[in-house]
Amino acid sequence: MVKITFAPANRHIQVRVGETILRAASRARIAISQRCGGKGACTMCKVRVTPGSFVSPPQEKEKRMIGEEHLACGMRLACQARVQGEAQVELAESRLASVVRTQLEKQRQERGEW
């Protein structure tokens, strides 16, 4: 068993080597959007794997779906990347959370709280 950490929730879970990031997130009760049932077809489950994390190398299907440029930045498909050792994964902020954060920042600026 190895530990995987999900940011920004800072939630940790022990997983078996070879388990997908998507499955680990599901067991940790962390929602990662996806429509294809984990088949690598919808590209909705993109996450960023931080440097120094131990995950499987991307297969041809994943390379085709998200491209070398995104892979070089640490982006992976959670349904395809398998945990090989201790790992940290950064989840994308939901659209709703992004809108709320932007509105709160705008209100703070208007009030001069910066």
CATH number of the domain to which 86 belongs: 3.10.20.30
- Would you give the DSSP letter of residue 84? -
pLDDT (0 to 100) of residue 113: 67
The structure tokens listed for 40 are: 């690598």
Per DSSP, the three-state class of 37 is coil
Q: How many domains does the chain have?
A: 1
Upper half-sphere CA count for residue 112 (Cβ side, 13 Å): 0
Q: What is the pLDDT of residues 4-57, one digit of tens each?
A: 999 988 899 999 999 999 999 999 999 898 999 888 889 999 999 999 999 999
Burial letters 84-109, b for 16+ CB under 10 A, else e: eeebbbebeeeeeeeeeeeeeeeeee
The boundaries of the domain holding residue 44 are 2-111
Rg (the chain; Cα; Å): 16
